[in-house]
A and B are shown apart, each in its own frame.
Chain A
Amino acid sequence: VSSAFLFAILPIVVGGGLLFYRRDDGLRTYTSVALALFLAWVAWQIPIDIVMQLGPFSIEIAPNLVLFGRNFTLDETQRVLLSLIYLAQSFWLLGALLTKVSRLFAPISLIAVGLLVAALSVEPFLYAALMLAAVVLISIPLLVEPGSAAGRGVQRFLKFQLFALPCILFTGWLLTGVEASPGNLNLVLRAGLLLALGFGFLLGLFPFHAWIPMLAREVNPYVFGFLVFFLPGISAIFSLSFFDRYIWLRSNSGIHQLLLYAGSLNILLTGLWAAAERHLGRIFAFASMAATGAMLQAIGVSGAAGVQTFFALLLPQALALWALAVSNSQFWREVRSLQLRELQRSLRLHPLLTLAMLASLLAIAGLPFLGPFSAHLSIWRALGERSVLVLVVSLAGSLGLAAAAVRILYSWVGPAQKSPPLPVRKDELGRVLPPESDMANPYVMIFFAGWVFLMLGFGVLPRFFLGAVPSLAAMFPQLFP
């Protein structure tokens, strides 16, 4: 069996099959969790391109799959990443059980992750843009459930994400010309501009970010969180492939400086917007944009240190975005408006989820002892060496995000406000039940304990918890020799 079949095609086929399963008995989610965990285990335990003897059977996962004359390659160096992707997917699926998200979430998210893995495996790697476009298209039924009308956020999401596709495909063609004549400055400039435009659309960077806060206001925060974690995450890894592949990109210090500045600008603006925002979903959106900005900064650190910083940031930020999605989704189920002035009752009913949400915002802002801190420290050091002004800009953005967390904290513990009553819960017999607090929900307690353990682990013991980072960086042999 080939690795691309196992990690890309199998989830797409199983997800597609589960779409046709009509009963609402949880089988779709449990099957998807089981498959995601199985694939995470296989990627972790079974080497690629080595024959293994299991009793009378011999197993070999081949690294190549040829489809329509093109290679889909997932080799030994990508095993850790595959394991983490499917582990993350199982976390998102388990979270879906907690937040009771749409029935389509399990199959569609499985197909989306399969397509994202296909994006990482296709050669030439530029064709990944086509897979990312397919992920955008398939995610629409998750964003707009039957019976509801789509808003302008969904429309912009669709347009802006699809705009990236022509830009990146054309860049690929231009880059082959640049390789042939690296001295042609006009060609380099055009390729660079198209590349920046493509990734600007793909990552939702300023000024192509409008869809992110709009979408956060319109759709289920859990689905939104899934998209703003996986799409920019995989797109950023895709962007690293460009640096690994093209020497003129990785050897150009101006481009790295530009990435540092663009990331810092993104963090500053999102921080300022978040500080002034009173809608919880939009604060989540700005936090996700700040996380993307930080990833851009990490790539801008350049060289082996840059790749390591990138992965050291990606893992804890994934955890923070997941917690933000879980908590926001719970609050959204109780108070659809997600306006802070109406949320006090809900925040007080769910102290653990509120704490996880606050800590996640502060973690993305770069607070010490929380997951992404060590990566932020490397970024800030690199920024300080290049320009103190840009470092101050980046820190001001982080401060804005922290101010948003303080605003939520004030809504939680501040003076009592007139918030609307929470929806009434009923049992099977129609009897009214009291609102379910976090303290009475064992699933929330398990989620919170596990989350705190990992977030503090990443922050306090990064050498142990981020031990997989060098293996992840090894995916890019030119950047991390």
Chain B
Amino acid sequence: MQSSFIGSVVVALIALTSIYLLINREWRWAIAGLGLQYLWAFLLITPSWPVELAAVKLVTGWIAASILGLTRVNLPDPPRETLITLPTGRTFRVLAAGLIILVVAGSAPRLTDWTRAIGINQAWGGLLLIGIGLLQLGLRAGFFRTAIGLLTLFAGFEILYAAVESSTLVAGLLAVVNLGIALVCSYLLIAPSLEAPE
């Protein structure tokens, strides 16, 4: 798939989904977007890993998204994010995402020149998710958005890392880290409403 038309379509879908996650305000759609993002990431990992091992990433991602969704459904809607000190509106975020796409456009071909193990679509997809994940972490407040940012960043990293490392132990431990991020952020979301110890 690495240089095929389908691969390019998957990269385009990754770009759309991750930018949607960056600008989205409704948490339900964010969870759905995260689930889709893991599906596209899975498709980019399959050229490097056997499908059954790559499926671990997909299942882990969906479980992480479910954990976040199940936590969020039991919480009241927080007030809309207000502008604090930085410009963080939707237009600004789209422009910032545009910058990330420009940077990735420049660096993805160089990454593939550097190592033949990583295909051009994997480089595009991986770097894009890392960049948008970092933007998400920098521009969006709250633990729900932190979780989405971290999971996006790690999904991007895992696309690139899968091309160079196929250890089962690493796959397992990275799955634990992804689930851990979802669980910890869920705990941080509900901690204020839990009963305090005596």
Contact = CB atoms under 8 A, between A and B. Distances in A.
A68 B168 contact: yes
A149 interface: yes
Contacts of B183: 137
B137 interface: yes
A145 B177 contact: no
Interface in B137-183: 137, 143, 146, 150, 153-154, 157, 160-161, 164-165, 167-170, 172-174, 176-177, 180-181, 183
B197 A148 contact: no
A140 B124 CA distance: 33
A42 interface: no
B196 A155 contact: no
Contact of A140 (B174, B187, B197): B187
Given A127-B169, A130-B170, A162-B150, A154 B197 contact: no
B73 to A, nearest CB: 20
A145 B190 CA distance: 11
B176 A147 contact: no
B184 to A, nearest CB: 5
B177 A70 contact: no
Interface string B94-131: 00000000000000000000010000000000000010
B194 interface: yes
Nearest to B160: A170
B195 interface: yes
Interface residues of B, number: 35
B6 interface: no
A67 interface: yes
B173 to A, nearest CB: 4
A102 B191 CA distance: 15
A69 B168 contact: yes
Contacts of A24: 198
A130 B191 contact: no
Contacts of B50: none
B87 interface: no
A158 interface: yes
Contacts of A102: 197
Contact of A130 (B130, B137, B173, B188): B173
Main secondary structure of the interface of B (DSSP, over half): helix
B76 interface: no
B177 A133 contact: yes
Interface string A114-154: 00000000000001001101100110110011111110001
Interface residues of A, number: 34
Nearest to A169: B161
B169 A134 contact: no
A411 B160 CA distance: 54
Nearest to B194: A146
Contacts of B160: 170
Contact of B181 (A69, A131, A137, A155): A137
B192 interface: yes
Contact of B184 (A131, A158, A166, A177): A158
A166 B146 CA distance: 17
Given A141-B187, A148-B191, A148-B196, A69 B146 contact: no
Given A134-B176, A155-B146, A162-B181, A70 B192 contact: no
Query: Which of B172, B177, B181 has the largest count of A CB atoms less than 10 A from its CB?
Result: B177
A158 B184 CA distance: 9
A67 B192 contact: no
A150 B188 contact: yes
A435 to B, nearest CB: 22
Contacts of B153: 166
A70 B146 contact: no
B170 to A, nearest CB: 6
A69 B137 contact: no
Contacts of B180: 133-134, 137-138
4 nearest A-B residue pairs (beta carbon)? A147-B196, A146-B194, A137-B180, A68-B169
Interface of B: 115, 130, 137, 143, 146, 150, 153-154, 157, 160-161, 164-165, 167-170, 172-174, 176-177, 180-181, 183-184, 187-188, 191-192, 194-198
Given A134-B177, A146-B197, 8 more contacts: A69-B168, A70-B169, A133-B180, A134-B173, A147-B196, A158-B146, A159-B150, A166-B154
13 contacts: A67-B169, A68-B172, A130-B174, A134-B173, A137-B180, A138-B180, A146-B194, A148-B191, A149-B191, A154-B188, A162-B150, A169-B157, A173-B165
Interface of A: 24, 67-70, 102-103, 127, 130-131, 133-134, 137-138, 140-141, 144-150, 154-155, 158-159, 162, 165-166, 169-170, 173, 177
